[in-house]
């Protein structure tokens, strides 16, 4: 069987949707999750990365994805399109339930390698995004910041928004997280994103290969460099 290069996506398929951690598929394949406010461009980015137009459902109506959606790539890793946060019209009852499911997934999923925290690069820093990123760091979830929709403002504005966001994070973060910029509409930023995935997959494989073989699934996040840390002197972060 030919060796499948992770960066070269040769197959992509929708695997399943889950309402909570219990409904998620097996913990064998390394996972990379997309999260961010509703409408930030999570589903569009899944499609852009996988080179498809309709693998993930893109919606003009914010808050319509309520499940954790799993996509299997090259039969050896997964992208997970998570529900967005921050839209009031999602019923309060539902919103609480998916917040709990998403938080549990982010904190407890052992094969989660990296979260791509999507932030709209065409807007100045939003409180919800800042709070959410702080929650990720406080919970030691490995994440990379991805500024989306870089086509929707002029490059100088996007750059200023990113710098503003980073400078706000630096008030509580020990070191800045890796930061990427992309546009699903202008098809830019794909290679840098895939490189993050490629490197994480290599770390996971090396981590597993160097251990005494067991029947345990690969522990995604344990094989990777430490997540950006929130300084311990802060009051506890609010969940978003
Ligand atoms: N200008 C621009 N619009 C985008 C981009 N990516 C997504 N969108 C639009 O933003 C809206 C929400 O996209 P979607 O992927 O469904 O966001 P999600 O709710 O985070 O999954 C849709 O109308 C997309 O066409 C982008 O890179 N640039
Ligand atoms: Mg979506």
Indicate the class that CATH gives domain 12-204.
Answer: alpha beta
Residue nearest to atom 19 of ligand 1 (CA): 39
Angle at 117 between CA 111 and CA 119, to 5 degrees: 165
**Is residue 37 lining ligand 1, measured as CB closer than 6 Å?**
no
Tens digits of residue pLDDT in 51-70:
988 898 887 666 666 789 99
Domain boundaries of the chain, sorted by first residue: 12-204
On the question of pLDDT at 19 being above 50, the answer is yes
Portion of the chain with pLDDT greater than 90, in percent: 58
Quick one: which atom of ligand 1 is closest to the CA of 152? 1
pLDDT tens sequence across 170-215: 988 888 899 999 999 999 999 999 999 999 998 887 755 444 445 5
Q: Are 20 and 6 in contact (CB under 8 A)?
A: no
CA angle 229, 177, 32 (to 5 degrees): 95
Using CA positions, which residue lies closest to atom 22 of ligand 1? 60
- Band (141; pLDDT cuts 50, 70, 90): very high
Q: Which two tokens stand for residue 129?
A: 């995004």
Q: Can you tell me the mean pLDDT for 35-53?
A: 92
Using CA atoms, how far apart are residues 3 and 212, in angstroms rounded to an integer? 23
Residue 232 pLDDT = 58
Q: Which pLDDT tens digit goes with each residue over 89-130?
A: 444 555 555 578 999 999 999 999 999 999 999 999 999 999
CA of 73 to the centre of ligand 1 (A): 22
């Amino acid at each position: 069987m030919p060796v499948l290069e992770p960066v070269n996506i040769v197959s992509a398929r929708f695997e399943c949707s889950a309402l909570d951690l219990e409904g998620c598929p097996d913990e064998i394949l390394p996972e990379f999750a997309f999260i961010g406010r509703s409408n930030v461009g999570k589903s569009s980015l899944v499609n852009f990365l996988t080179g498809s137009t309709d693998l993930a459902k893109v919606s003009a109506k914010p808050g319509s994805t309520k499940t954790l959606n799993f996509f299997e790539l090259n039969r050896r890793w997964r992208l997970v399109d998570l529900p967005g946060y921050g839209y009031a019209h999602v019923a309060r009852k539902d919103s609480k339930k998916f917040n709990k499911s998403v938080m549990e997934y982010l904190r407890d999923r052992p094969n989660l390698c990296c979260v791509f925290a999507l932030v709209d690069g065409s807007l100045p820093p939003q409180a919800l995004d800042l709070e959410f990123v702080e929650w990720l760091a406080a919970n030691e979830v490995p994440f990379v910041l991805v500024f989306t929709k870089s086509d929707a403002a002029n490059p100088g504005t996007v750059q200023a928004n990113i710098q503003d966001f980073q400078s706000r994070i630096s008030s509580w973060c020990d070191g800045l997280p890796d930061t990427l910029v992309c546009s699903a509409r202008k098809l830019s930023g794909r290679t840098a994103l895939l490189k993050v995935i490629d490197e994480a997959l290599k770390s996971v494989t090396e981590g597993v290969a160097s251990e005494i073989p067991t029947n345990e699934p690969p522990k995604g996040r344990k094989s990777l460099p430490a997540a950006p840390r929130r300084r311990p002197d802060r009051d506890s972060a609010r969940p978003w």
